[in-house]
A and B are shown apart, each in its own frame.
Chain A
Amino acid sequence: MKKWIRRSFRNRIFLTVLLVTLLPLLFCNVLMMQMQVVRSEISLAQEARAQLTALDGALDELCLSFEEMADELCESTAVRSVLRQKSADSRVLYQLLFRVTDELREYARFDICDREGLCLYTTDATVPTGTLYTDWGILCAASGSVDLVFRSGEGDVALTAARAVRSHDSAVLGYVVVSMSPENFDYLFQDLYSTTSDIILMDPFWRPVYHSQPAQTENAAESLRQQLLAGEPLTGAGGDYYYYTSPHQETGMSLILQQPMTFTSTVMHTIYAVSLLMGLLCLLLCLWCAWLLSRHLFRPIRQLDEAMGEVRKGNFDVHLDTGREDELGRLADSFNHMADEYQANLSRSVARQRELNETQLRMMQAQLNPHFLYNTLDTMKWLGVTNHVPQIAELASDLAIILRAGISGDEIITVEQELELIDRYLAIQSIRFEDRFTCEIDIPEEFQSCLIPKMVLQPLVENAIIHGVADKNDGYIKLWAEEKEGDLFLSVSDNGCGIPPEQLADLNQRSKKKPADQGSHLGLFNVNSIIRLHFGEPYGLSVRSQPGEGCCATLRLPIQRRRDENA
């Protein structure tokens, strides 16, 4: 996964979009559901508490009435007297019994038993029958207490209560017994709780006394008792109910309200299933949107990446057309521009190299048979010496030196070496022109060691002599050097006839463009070309002239010295 995320920018966009759309949705979903559950629980609990209070109140009130009734009967002389006589047909007692139980007979059956537990009087519609154990169960408990005692009943009786009728010396004469059936409880609790809830009454040991749904009694009560004993929360048998308990002080029993959960496990499962389904739908939607968005963002970047790859391979013809106006569109435009520029630059560079190669070819052609020429010059020199014509010997010697410098392998020489060649050349020319001109060389010492391409000054001097002062008797040529803007400027001026403006413009033009006429000023063109090829565009030759006032050719060169000399 991590690898997948790191592999592509697109995957990261995709995942981010997915997370930021899906997470808040899930979060809200869970939060809302939780809030619903909590709200429902709180409202159900409030409702249950209110119902329990009402039920508890009803049971309290009934117990109080029972006690008042028992008080009246137990304190009655008629009751005592009848129980002493064990008589079962006292009208007075029946009238008393029915009078004191007048309001209560809908809630319970009332019996009066003798001290052996034999039922003598009853408010039941049937003839009084049956005997209760006096040393077991409710009567045993009643004989040990002076109050009304409560116990869970047996058989059809849900709850029994009994109080011993005692003589003045506290001997037990008989018992007043109250029996409540499940129907009595139904009547007592009716309308006090919602129809969806159920009531369970548990004895002090959490055995069921009454359940509003008798069929569920055993199952529900047993599981509640087990949960209580195990110290677990009360969830009943199915776990789909809330149980609210309220201990009843009077009877020692516990009232339990069984309330069905709104969000039962089944409902929760359904909700979870629906939420999951919705989540899945959202996930699919998010996947689709994230896919589209990441593709929209990623496509130009992928195109750019591929184009870069092509450029790396050397294909500069790639052209991106994103059709967009945003940042990615501008980025693509910039790339196109960069690729175009790079290609143009490369073409220029190739053209320059081709020119250099041509120049070098020409120079090599010029170097053809140099030894033959040199030997010939040597022969001429010795002929001059032999025939006593020293000028010939001198001419041949100087020419040989110039020729040797021309064909030597060093492309770059010092100004001093170049001046040496100029001297030789001037010596030759002074023989030819019989000192009709003078040449002044004014190169300060500091520039003597500067490096320049060889044979770049000689053509200028030659030009000044041939085209400037050749026809004059007081020709004057000056060669000087100066430093301007960090560059070296070497100038050759003459006081010759000058150059007409149109020719001058042509010359300055020519110096950049190869002349059509190979013979005319070819030297100047070559000088200019050599300097530019060596040092670049700003450097080269410029010519200034006023007709009749001579001309001045200036070379602009970078100041370079040998390393050891610099040091």
Chain B
Amino acid sequence: MKAGTVKVRTVKTRRTIRRIACGLLSMVCGLSLLSACGGQESPADTPSAPAEEMQLSICTSLSPSVYEPIVREFEARTGIWVTVENGGSLELLDQIAAADGAPSWDLLLGGGMDSLTARSELFVPYESPLLDHVRAAYLPSDNCETPFSIVPLVLIYNPKLARIHPPSGFESLLDTAWKGRIAFADPTVSGTSYTVLAALQQVLPGDDTENLRAFAVNLDRQLLSHSSDVIREVANGNCYIGMVGEDDALRAMEAGYDIAVVYPAEGTCAISDGAAILKGCAHEENAALFIDFLLSLDVQKYIESACLRRSVMDGSLSDSLGADSPTADSILPDDFTDDFSLFSYDIALSASSQEDILRSWRQIWEEESR
């Protein structure tokens, strides 16, 4: 009996010792963890994040010099916090499609209307009340995309290197004289590059596929990763010619780049940039507010004067504001094609055949790259 008691006590003592040891160990471990984490914590009294309904997330293919002033003005006027992510328009469309109805953005800003219309299933229908003032030729075929500025395609060339026989039009892109000297971004990433391919097919005579092949051969296996690189490559002499949006070329010239602009002799295509609300987005109302803001007179006038873009609105917008409005005197021009001619670019065809053209391009490019 006595021995049994002693044994029980020994077991109890062991348990107690074990508990103490475990306690000590966990204390040491806890302190180690604290020290490991404690050093990394910021002591700053973090200001609170804006409410969810006061946020908007945009993805855009526009250059920062275009979208930043617009976004800042929108923030100042509405109090809505905007986050922006940049990328090629087709690349962004692919990412939105991959998100499968749960995109991380609310709005796609920029990208040709042809590229946007081709993927209209990714967007929520939205008709801005200001759509009535959009030039008739640029009214969208469905109500999912909203046009906001017109960007004619222009040829640019480096005058130091191509002064005697400058390029004249789309035909120059197939001219072997420029072989290996054409700055061109990957059309599977850049919407502008895709529009160039579609315009090539529509404006040039002959077999579409052969034209594409001739162009691919002329590129001599050189593709840029982003269309914003085209101007730089031409200006620094790596390439001689390229095709870009008119506003980019004009702003580059204003910034002092030594490039020259040629409006294609065949006529150019002047498609509009669009904006669209993404299906399944978190801040649909704010995205709609942003689209309305894009079509407002202030923005339309601002993009004309500051961004050198052509407004998609006609004169009725400034008329509608009334004669006594302080901004009513600056009337948007009804006709903007004095400087150049347009060929009849079929946006619907371009949108519907986008997949075919890109597939055909990929195949040709692979064959020619071997």
Whether B24 lies near A152 (C-beta < 8 A) is no
Question: How far does the alpha carbon of A207 sit from the alpha carbon of B84 in the complex, in Å?
Answer: 12
For B299, the closest partner residue in chain A by CB is A136
**Candidates A136, A234, A235; contact of B73 at CB < 8 Å:** A136
Query: Measured between C-beta atoms, what is the minimum distance from B28 to chain A in Å?
Result: 5
Query: In the bound complex, how far is the Cα of B39 from the Cα of A385, in angstroms?
Result: 129
- A311-343 residues with Cβ-Cβ distance < 8 A to B are none
A500 within 8 A of B: no
Binds A, one of B44-52, B97-105, B193-201, B268-276: B44-52
A233 touches B35 (CB 8 A): no
Contact with A along B62-82 (1 / 0, CB 8 A): 000000010011011000011
Contacts of A45 in B (CB 8 A): 43
The verdict on A231 contacting chain B, using a C-beta distance below 8 Å, is yes
User: Which residues of A214-267 are within 8 A (CB) of B?
Assistant: 225-226, 228-235, 239, 242-245, 247, 254, 261, 263, 265
| Complex-state Cα separation, A30 to B35, whole angstroms | 7
Residue in A230, A243, A265 whose beta carbon sits within 8 Å of that of B40 in the complex: A265
Q: Provide the B133-173 mask, 1 if CB < 8 A to any CB of A, else 0.
A: 00000000000000000000000000000000000000000
Known interface pairs A134-B326, A247-B47. Does A27 touch B42 (Cβ–Cβ under 8 Å)?
Answer: no
Decide if A207 touches B44 in the complex (CB within 8 Å): no
**Which residues in A have their C-beta under 8 angstroms from that of B36?**
268, 272
- Which of B24, B45, B76, B83 has the largest number of chain A CB atoms within 10 A? B76
Question: In angstroms, how far is the closest chain B Cβ from the Cβ of A36?
Answer: 9
* B211 contacts across to A, CB distance below 8 A: none
B298: chain A residues within 8 A (beta carbon): 135-136, 140
Q: How far is the CA of A268 from the CA of B298 in the complex (A)?
A: 53
Q: Give CA–CA (A239, B41) in the complex, Å.
A: 9
Q: Interface residue count for A (Cβ, 8 Å)?
A: 48
Instruction: Decide: A234 near B44, CB < 8 A? Known: A27-B28, A151-B76, A207-B72.
Output: yes
- Indicate the member of B47, B82, B302 with the most A CB atoms within 10 Å: B47
A144 to B: closest C-beta gap in Å: 10
- Give the A-B pair count, Cβ closer than 8 A: 100
A30 touches B32 (CB 8 A): yes
Q: Which residue of chain B has its CB nearest to the CB of A154? A: B69
Interface string of A7-36 (1 = CB under 8 A from B): 000000000000100010011001101100
B302 pairs with A133, CB closer than 8 A: yes
Proximity bits, A116-146, B CB within 8 Å = 1, else 0? 0000000000000000011111001100000
Known: A30-B35, A263-B39. A19 touches B21 (CB 8 A): yes
Interchain CB contact under 8 A, B44 and A233 = yes
Residues in A whose Cβ lies below 8 Å from that of B297: 135
Complex alpha-carbon distance, A454 and B167, angstroms? 150
When chains A and B are docked, how far (Å) is the Cα of A73 from the Cα of B83?
38
Check: A287 CB closer than 8 A to any chain B CB. Answer: no
Kindly list chain A residues whose C-beta atoms are within 8 Å of the C-beta of B81.
Answer: 205-206, 229
Q: How far is the CB of B55 from chain A (nearest CB, A)?
A: 7
- Return chain B residues, CB-CB under 8 Å to A205: 72, 75-76, 81-82
Roughly how many angstroms separate A26 CA and B24 CA in the complex, as a whole number? 11
CB-CB contacts of B7-48 with A at 8 A, as 1s and 0s?
000000000000001001101100110111011111111111
Give the nearest-CB partner of A247 in chain B: B47
- Nearest residue (CB) in A for B33 is A30
Which of B47, B76, B83, B306 meets A245, CB within 8 Å? B47
Identify the interface centre among B39, B306, B327: most chain A CB within 10 Å of its CB: B39
**Can you name the residue of chain A whose Cβ is closest to the Cβ of B27?**
A27
- Report if A41 contacts B (CB, 8 A): yes
Evaluate contact between B35 and A229: CB separation under 8 angstroms.
no
- What's the nearest-Cβ distance from chain B to residue A297, in Å? 19
Which chain B residues lie closer than 8 Å to A135 at the CB level? 297-298, 301, 326-327
How far does the alpha carbon of A231 sit from the alpha carbon of B73 in the complex, in Å? 24
Expressed in whole angstroms, the minimum distance between the Cβ of B10 and any Cβ of chain A is: 14
Task: Return the 7 tightest CB-CB contacts between A and B, nearest first.
Answer: A34-B35, A231-B49, A233-B42, A30-B31, A243-B44, A205-B75, A263-B39
| CB<8 Å pairs between A and B, sample of 22 | A23-B24, A23-B28, A26-B28, A27-B27, A27-B28, A30-B32, A37-B35, A37-B38, A38-B38, A135-B326, A135-B327, A136-B302, A137-B73, A140-B298, A152-B72, A233-B42, A243-B44, A244-B45, A245-B45, A254-B47, A263-B39, A265-B39
